[in-house]
Amino acid sequence: MKSRRRIGILLAILGAMIGISAMDGGKPSDEAAYAEARNKMVRNQIEARGVKHPVVLEAMRKVRRHLFVPPSFSRDAYADMPLPIGSGQTISQPYIVAVMTELIDPRPGMKVLEIGTGSGYQTAVLCESGVEVYSIEIIEALATQTSQLLDELGYEGAHLRIGDGYAGWPEHAPFDAILLTAAPREVPAPLMEQVKPGGCIVLPVGDSDQELKKLVLTEQGWNETVVFPVRFVPMTGKAESAQ
């Protein structure tokens, strides 16, 4: 009788240990924890700081940022900071991604050009916002890796190309919006020629002192707005020599 009781106690302890193990490292509990962190991120880092666009907020809740960073940084994926992704590049902090997405006012059916695919996180947020994305990445290894990830996650609205984004993607122009995730010294002239009337360009501009800007193409010409100071990796390729 006592031996049976001991066995029962041991089985109960073992069951509890298995439960703890699943909470610590099991995939279902990890995904639940990530989802909770994602909702907290949107509530505290994004919505509380003024981003109100419902489509953007929902997209930020859906995109699993921890899949777009190296595994060693996955536990920091929902912190309010950029993270390294290799090749000298970074993934922007969630708040900046949300602000830039809100600035283009995403709507289903829009066609957006993204310069600097990077990790693919901004690309995924744009896709979840209902837009068709044409994205260019200059670093081949990064582009290949990101293309595979976006395919695996089912983002069919993302069209990726390896190349220098300075010249844009004229074959698919004009675009409703163009978004840059790296900072040129000045707005690349070829990109200004690939925007629809009423469309916009959202980008960081500058060297050591950078500003996030929004340029809207009106009937009278370009209307420029400075959003706030930012810090992005510099745009490489032809942008480095362009004045």
Q: Is 92 a catalytic residue?
A: yes
* Distance, CA of 165 to chain centre: 17
Question: Of 3, 21, 29, 92, which one is the catalytic site residue?
Answer: 92
CA 63 vs CA 11, 66, 122, 149, 153: distances in Å:
39, 9, 9, 13, 10
Catalytic positions, written as ranges: 92
